[in-house]
Amino acid sequence: MTATTVAFDPRDLEAKVKDMYRAVAENPQGEFHFEMGRGLAERLGYPPADLDRIPAESIASFAGVGYYFHLAGLKPGETVVDLGSGSGMDTFMAALHVGASGTVIGVDMTDEQRRKAERLRDAGGFVNVSYIKGYIEEVPLTDACADVVISNGVINLATDKQKVFEEVARLLRPGGRFAISDIVTEVQLPDSIVCNSTLWAACIGGAAQQDSYRDQIERAGMRVETVEDNPAYAFISDNAKCASRKYGVKSVSILAVKA
Ligand SMILES: C[S@@+](CC[C@H](N)C(=O)[O-])C[C@H]1O[C@@H](n2cnc3c(N)ncnc32)[C@H](O)[C@@H]1O
């Protein structure tokens, strides 16, 4: 399958996504289509004791959609790549799991998100965490560099998800794990939603139908082992809630393993 055909200019979508997540980094108290912050993280399953050990400002700007660390099974010493690392909450969580001998690399295209994550990393002494500017469709890292690739609420934003999954497979060593949470749908979204770049940027318009999402992961050379629904995740604007009810827009957590 190729990239989804969208009726808007992909540069317009990139600008909207960057605007939205610049605001998430700089003004997490603002109004968004989606919930953020510690209350959400706890409801999704992040252990409060772990959250207590990472920077509070990264939790305030947490815009993920699920918890997947129980699927990722991170071990001390492992190398983890976080696609769309935002203000860094999951990179800090991963750093707790992989310990001082491990490495965590966050990739994000939005400068304000990376800068905030870097500031919090430096203040918190997370010396084994680094951030690079890049697109998840073309990650500036070498083949087979990662034991685990993680991502939270990001891949739905990509117009070419197959390309993203192929990048994940390229980054993983054989037997490496891909553990994520993302937004999918039960039924294919109609053009009126898919062609609205504002709804894409809000993590709705780009959500793929769940079976085709899974097929795309497998086509990239990974075996899907677990798929869990995250009923604790809910959209908050009326627009988003309506699309969610009508088309089964929902959050899932997935574990896949590279063959
Ligand atoms: C919904 S936020 C999630 C951030 C983080 N994972 C979290 O849980 O808080 C999406 C993030 O992905 C980044 N992003 C979206 N599309 C991207 C792309 N194609 N390449 C790189 N980063 C992207 C945005 O800049 C934003 O920081």
All structural domains of the chain with their residue ranges: 10-258
CB 244 within 8 A of CB 254: no
CA of 115 to the centre of ligand 1 (A): 13
Give the tens place of pLDDT for each residue, 143-159. 999 999 999 999 999 99
Q: Enter the tokens of residue 125.
A: 């002494």
Share of the chain above pLDDT 70, in %: 98
How many other β-carbons are positioned within 10 Å of the β-carbon of residue 53? 12
Residue of 17, 58, 80, 149 to test ligand 1 pocket, by largest number of atoms within 8 Å of CB: 17
CA of 189 to the centre of ligand 1 (A): 21
Tally helices (H) and strands (E) across the chain: 12, 8
Instruction: Let me know if domain 10-258 sits in CATH 3.40.190.10.
Output: no
Q: Residue 1 pLDDT > 90, yes or no?
A: no
259 burial type by CB count under 10 A (0-12 exposed, 13-18 middle, 19+ buried): exposed
Q: How many CA within 13 A on the CB side of residue 187?
A: 9
* Average pLDDT score, the chain: 94
pLDDT given for residue 62 in this prediction? 98
Give the tens place of pLDDT for each residue, 63-120. 999 999 999 999 999 999 999 999 999 999 999 999 999 999 999 999 999 999 999 9
pLDDT confidence band for 4 (50 / 70 / 90): low
The residue among 253 and 194 whose pLDDT is bigger is: 253
pLDDT given for residue 240 in this prediction? 78
Across residues 21-36, what is the average pLDDT?
A: 92
- Nearest residue (CA) to ligand 1, atom 25: 110
pLDDT confidence band for 10 (50 / 70 / 90): confident
Q: Which atom of ligand 1 is nearest to the CA of 61?
A: 9
CA of 242 to the centre of ligand 1 (A): 24
Q: Which atom of ligand 1 is nearest to the CA of 84?
A: 12
CB 34 within 8 A of CB 156: no
pLDDT confidence band for 244 (50 / 70 / 90): confident
Whole-number Å distance between alpha carbons of 72 and 231: 19
Angle 152-156-160 (CA atoms, 0-180°, nearest 5)? 125
Q: Residue 127 pLDDT > 70, yes or no?
A: yes
Choose among 256, 70, 29: nearest CA to 164: 256
pLDDT given for residue 165 in this prediction? 98
> Which stretch of DSSP H or E encloses residue 221?
none
